[in-house]
Amino acid sequence: MRNPMIGKCPVCSGELEVTKLRCPNCNTSLEGRFEICRFCKLSSEQKEFVEIFLKSRGNIREVEREMGISYPTVRSRLDEVLRTLGFTVEADESAGFKAERRREILEALSSGKISSDEAIKMLKSQ
């Protein structure tokens, strides 16, 4: 049984680098400095989130339901994963998602799924 690859040092949280590779079939070894894959840099919680996000085909409402978390939390975790993978998450993107969330809250209110008090509370928490 193999241990999962980690990307952060358990002592200082610094980024780890791979210095040796070995073929388990023929026992050939290579030494040097190798870069670990981007996904190895994700924490176990981030990897779980990515798996659920992919299984849900990017459907945020499905991720909300499966993980039992709110829309803003899904967005926040997605932004965190993107940053860890080395992508830039622009501030204006989150403003667009806040507007989308407001629209969803208002739709839920108009369809009777939530009360006006719940809608006010949700809008204030954004």
Let me know how long the chain is. 126
How far is Cα 4 from Cα 88, in angstroms, rounded to an integer? 27
Closest CA to 47 of 18, 19, 94, 6: 6
DSSP letter string, 51-79: HHHHHTTT-HHHHHHHHT--HHHHHHHHH
Q: What are the extents of the domains in the chain?
A: 1-41, 42-124
pLDDT number for residue 93? 55
pLDDT digits (tens, 9 = 90+) for 17-60: 889 989 989 999 999 998 878 888 888 899 999 999 999 999 99
Cα angle, residue 98 at apex, residues 96 and 104 outer, rounded to 5°: 110
pLDDT digits (tens, 9 = 90+) for 51-98: 999 999 999 999 999 999 888 889 889 999 999 898 988 765 556 667
Confidence band for 123, pLDDT divided at 50, 70 and 90: confident
- In this predicted model, which residue has the larger pLDDT, 91 or 16? 16
pLDDT number for residue 126? 66
